Amino acid sequence: MAGELFEKISAGAISPDMPDCKAIVINLHNGEALFQSLSRLHSRMNYKVFVVYSTEKKLAQVLKKCREANLPAIVYGGNLDSIAATLPKTEFSLSMVSSGYCANDSDRAAIEDLIYLPNLDEFSYIGYQGYLTSSSFLNSLHDRYFQELRLGLLRENISLCEPMLRSCDRHLFDLNSLRYSDFPHAANGNPNGLYAEEACSVARYMGLSVKVSAFYLYGLTEVADNKVCNNLVAQIIWHICEGIQTNITENPYDSEQEGKFMRKIVNFGEKGDEIVFINSTTTDRWWMEVPASGNKNNKLIPCSFSDYKTACIGEVPMKWLFFYQKYSIL
């Protein structure tokens, strides 16, 4: 129907000539339950999201059409193996929202294979629960200088995940990271996990990432026949789309955008050491400069206002130390 936010089209109809379209939802599950939930949702902004049906075998082809049309894809369904088959061979960055739970050895091996991909430049592991996540896996993340944020810290300040998601071009969202009472179709039946509202907030931050190409909502072995589950998945997708629609692409090093940022220099100690922070006057995003080894240019790292506040009281932010160590050895 004309005027609806979400509309169904065939995969063959995806093209660059869709100026009002902001994203393509690729549904790998049969049935109309998800689309019925999506069709009840509205936006105050004027844009379109088209929904196509596909299979895991054809997913790579549909994703290619989305890239050619310069449209981000939101994939619903599949598993880590089918997702890994669609990841680029060139350098990319990735986030994963996960409780840490793995249903079997195959899932565990798929995650470990993922973080050791030679072309994976950045990886953010968000929302994990310590008692479901092995110390060896966390050590592997630290060895590769990948970021992680456990559920407890995320719950204290949901905005902490935004800098970790900002530079990622692909996002994985394991629906099993939701607590069972909010998502009763979750395979692991975990009583703890993300609340529905937290999941939607994280999804919006994903949509706000600056160079996103694809989102993957996975973890279900079959279509959820529970209305609450379908409504929640639909609302997670809606929040991703709202983030995409409201996103503003910013680059503090772009001379054409120079007047949109404020540089704030924090000095430390008697040696005159300093950390340079950059704040957007448009979106209130924050970055900090981290020196790289040799004669390489400084690295611009997404950060939060809390990192700036930490520096202002004379403490070096842990995020700065983390990336300083990373880039001083590369």
- The string of pLDDT tens digits covering residues 129-146 is 999 999 999 999 999 999
Residue 289, Cβ density class (10 Å: 0-12 exposed, 13-18 middle, ≥19 buried) = buried
Mean per-residue pLDDT pooled into runs of 10, the chain (330 residues): 83 95 95 94 96 96 97 95 94 97 80 94 97 94 96 97 97 95 83 96 97 92 76 97 95 91 88 90 96 82 96 94 86
What does DSSP assign to residue 175? G
pLDDT at 187: 72
Rounded Cα gap, residues 137 and 141, in angstroms: 6
Q: For the chain, which domains are there?
A: 6-246 (3.40.800.10), 255-328 (no CATH)
Rounded Cα gap, residues 47 and 3, in angstroms: 9
- β-strands 273-280, 286-290: how paired? antiparallel
What token pair was written down for 71? Answer: 């449209």
pLDDT at 52: 98
SS (H, E, C) 198-244: HHHHHHHHHHCCCCCCEEEEECCCCCCCCHHHHHHHHHHHHHHHHHH
Predicted TM-score of the model (pTM): 0.94
Contact indicator for 124, 84 with CB cutoff of 8 Å: no
Helix or strand or coil: residue 190?
coil
